[in-house]
Structure 1
């Protein structure tokens, strides 16, 4: 029994030490990005990236809830256009709006998360020529709360999984 308590004590101590280090060492500004090269001209890729409606065709986040409700404001391809989503606990609720567009090159959006927690983020999709294809870079930036700093390694793993899945979906659609 003493050995079990010692092991449990060491585990708790390590968890506390990690939490303190994470809070002190990790920057509050979070940036994550992933890229893929798509074997298609950027004008063709842009058809699937330059519109919020088309984005939701390949976006893995909205696919996490088959009953998600998405309401669009505008055509989805101009500055100011947006959509509101409301889904289950995995998807939450929020809004995404276009803040900047450079056709065939860049789409910048503001994400406003409402549930499960309120926060704001900025996303960017940047298209650049790469050989005979197009490199698509998907990035997200936001500010981490103290508790989110502790979860940063798990967030990185989840973001990598979701961005890889989304960019893979985009690649399949754009290369057809």
Structure 2
């Protein structure tokens, strides 16, 4: 029994030490990006990335939200156009902040539920041989608790961005 209590005590101590190190050492600035090369010209890929409505056909995050609904403001393809999403335990808004046709769609995300926060996201298209390299980025500021969860965030972002870019690739290569 004493051995079990020692092991539990060591595990608790390691968790506390990790939390303290994460809060002090990890930067508050968070950046994640992932890329894929799509065997299609930029103009064809842009049809699936150049508007909020097109983005929502392959967005993996909306597929994860139960009872997902979206309300658009504008056509979803001009500066200032936005959409508001709501679902079980999730709510937020995404607004277009930058458009360079066939090259870049920049957006501002405002998360309302489950946590209030803001992030910037970009979808960037660049020529790559006979295809198009699509780079999807997200940048935000981590609060103290989010710093502790950074390794889990990286793992989740890798999974979700990979799924979304894979779905985009399938759509654009049809």
Task: Give the Å deviation of 1:85.
Answer: 0.2
Contact 2:66–2:88 (Cα < 8 Å) also in 1: no
> Matched residues in 1 for 2:44 and 2:28: separation?
37
Q: Which residue of 2 aligns with 1:57?
A: 57
**Distance (whole Å) between structure 1 residues aligned to residue 50 and residue 41 of structure 2:** 14
Partner of 1:115 in structure 2?
113
What's the TM-score once normalised by structure 1's chain length?
A: 0.98
Corresponding residue of 1:87: 87
Paired residues for 1:33-112 under 5 Å: 33-65=33-65, 67-89=67-89, 92-112=90-110
Aligned residue for 2:155? 157
Which runs of no fewer than 5 residues in structure 2 stay unpaired? Answer: none
Residue of structure 2 equivalent to 1:129: 127
Residues 51-102 of structure 1, C-alpha deviations (whole Å, 9 max, x = no match): 000100000000113521100000000000000000112xx00000000000
SS across alignment from 2:57: helix
Q: How many residues align?
A: 174
CA distance in 2, matches of 1:106, 1:169: 19
Distance in 2 between residues matched to 1:65 and 1:15, nearest whole Å:
30
Equivalents in 1 of 2:140, 2:83: separation in Å?
19
SS at match of 1:79: coil
Structure 1 stretches of 4+ moved >3 Å: none
2:60 alignment partner, SS class: coil
Deviation at 1:41, TM superposition (A): 0.1
Structure 2 CA distance, aligned partners of 1:27 and 1:118? 19
- Taking the TM superposition and a 5 Å limit, the aligned residue runs for 1:161-176 are 161-176=159-174
CA shift digits 1:4-30 (9 cap, x unpaired): 110000000000110111111100000
Does the residue aligned with 1:94 lie in a helix, a strand or coil? strand
**TM-score normalised over the length of structure 2:** 0.99
